[in-house]
Structure formats: structure tokens, C-alpha cells
Amino acid sequence: MSPTVVASDLDRTLIYSAGALGLTMPDAEAPRLLCVEMYQGKPLSYVTEDAAGLLAELGRRAVFVPTTTRTREQYGRVRLPGPAPQYAICANGGHLLVDGVSDPEWRRGVEARIEAECAPLGEVRERMIAAADPEWLLKERVAEDLFAYLVVDRGLLPEGWVKELSEWAAGVGWGVSLQGRKVYAVPKPLTKGAAAREVARRVGAAAVFGAGDSLLDADLLVAVDRGWRPGHGELADVGWVGDGVTVLGERGVLAGEAVLRGFLGAL
């Protein structure tokens, strides 16, 4: 029987930092949490105990593909319940990991498309830094020599700044996304959806499911047969909908449970 590929975003879709949990019930009624990521000796990301069980079941019943904008190093900190995934997508599709190792042929193809269609990374990075104000710019980083991002103080970020940067970036083949405290600039050919389709091709998938909360996940949700979108995040903020995409009412870490129940119910 042909398998189903389930390609899901991680941060704020399946796993949640303490600040993103969104638990509004009394403490005595809150779900038990399982830490799935440590950073510098401290817990960083969580799933609910119920979600941990659902993840383990999903890993047994489908080809589960963690799909993230994280670098390979950042992804390597995450320890999800269930079988170790054979495939994972990192750097927003820049790296396709097979048993933990980046596929060199996939990476070469990605780099060729970016070079042919987009302004150089250095030019975009310089524009981002020049347009930023030290008052609210906390850090600037380059990820995997593929894209750039800024860590900002959201409370001080001027209204309209991201939109202005987005309009400029679109003209040179790049997209911009604001996720939490990070402003990402990503080449348009660098997509999670393309990498998910490649995994589906390799395993001969009968169907592909996906989930995500940010603008960087929109192409993934368009590329899959069925998708799920939490009730929070950039896509929710703009009211994004797509064919075959279920819009969930749940927000925060409980949305992670709802996404997993959606996957399993559709298998």
C-alpha cells in the first residue's frame, strides 16, 4: 500500500515555547506538558502529553516529515516522540535530510534556482540591516548561507516597516515574513512545498498532508492534498484560506493537538 506523507511545520504548529503556549484555563486544569527541546541547559519547546502520544502514533502510521525554517543545528535540538523520521526538511526547504544527512543533489538544485531567480543574499542582508533601527534591532543572522533574519523588539517595530521591506524584496525575488520576534527574508524558490513534493515522489506517496501557521507555510499548504492551519499565526492574522485546508479554532499548544488529530483522522 502506498504511504501517506505528513509534512508539518514545527514551531507554533506542533511545538511551542513557553511564551507561545497560549493556555488560558486555570492552572489546575492546564494540560501536562512534555519538553521536546533544550537550549543552553534550559527547556525551550513543549508539546502536550496527549500530543506526544499522537505524534508517536503518527510516526507509525505515516511518513512523518518535520518541515521547518530552522537550520539543521536548530532542528537537531528537537527530540520528538515516536520513531526517528527518515526525512526532514530544514532551512525552509534548503536542506532535505535523509536519515539526518543533507541530500547534496537537492541542495545543489536549490542553490541553482536561487542563483538564477533572486538577488544575492548579501544584497538583501545589507538592505535589511540598513533599514533597521538599533533601537529595536536585537540581532541579525544568516541561516545556512541561504536566507537572513532579524531578531527584533516587536513592541518597538514601526508599523508598516515589514510591509515596506516586503515590497522591496518582492522586486528582487525574495519574500519577507514576521514570525514572533523574527523578520525573515527568504528567496522565493526556497520553499517547504517543493521539498515535501520531493519526499512524496521518493516514497511513492498516495497522498500528502501538511500543516503550518506562518506565511512561509502557505506554499506547503497549497502543495499538499489536505492541510491544517492553527487559529493563531501570520496566516490566521491575514485570514488566509486555501482549498482543502482546515482552519482550526484552537490556538497555542492545544492547536498542536488539533493538528495531529486532524492528520490521524484523515489517514
Cα(first)–Cα(last) distance of the chain, in Å? Answer: 13
20 vs 11, 55, 215, CA distance in Å?
Answer: 9, 19, 17
Average pLDDT, the chain: 96
Q: How is the chain split among helix, strand and coil, in percent rounded to 5?
A: 40, 30, 35
Residue 211 backbone dihedrals phi, psi, to 5 degrees: -155, 150
Contacting residues for 194 by C-beta, under 8 A, at least 6 apart: 93, 219, 223
pLDDT at residue 162, as a whole number: 95
- Report which DSSP code applies to 15: B
Tens digits of per-residue pLDDT, 30-66? Answer: 999 999 999 999 999 999 999 999 999 999 999 999 9
For residue 85, pLDDT over 90 is answered with: yes
Identify each DSSP E strand in the chain by its residue range: 4-8, 16-17, 33-39, 42-48, 63-66, 87-90, 95-98, 101-102, 137-143, 147-152, 174-179, 182-187, 207-211, 226-229, 245-247
Coil, helix or strand at residue 166: helix
Residue pLDDT, tens place only, 243-265: 999 999 999 999 999 999 999 99
Q: Average pLDDT in the 236-240 region? A: 95
Judge whether 128 and 140 are in contact, CB under 8 Å: yes
- How is the beta sheet containing 182-187 ordered, strand by strand? 137-143, 147-152, 182-187, 174-179
Residue with cell 533601527: 133
- At residue 137, the pLDDT reads 97
**Mean pLDDT, range 125-138, rounded to an integer:** 96
pLDDT, tens digit, 9 for 90 and up, residues 141-167: 999 999 999 999 999 999 999 999 999
Q: What pLDDT score was predicted for residue 148? A: 96
Query: Which pTM was predicted?
Result: 0.93
Q: How far apart are CA 81 and CA 84, in angstroms?
A: 8
Residue partners of 233: CB distance under 8 A and separation at least 6? 12, 13, 179, 212, 213, 214
> Which helix (DSSP H) or strand (DSSP E) does residue 190 occupy?
none
1 pLDDT higher than 90: no
Can you read off the three cell numbers belonging to residue 2?
Answer: 502506498
Render pLDDT for 171-225 as a digit per residue (tens, 0 to 9).
999 999 898 899 999 999 999 999 999 999 999 999 999 999 999 999 999 999 9
User: How many percent of the chain have pLDDT more than 70?
Assistant: 100
How much is the pLDDT for 180?
A: 82
| Separation CA 172–CA 124 (nearest Å) | 9
pLDDT of residue 152: 97
Long-range contacts at 100-104 (CB < 8 A, ≥ 24 apart) = 102/72
Q: Are 210 and 7 in contact (CB under 8 A)?
A: yes
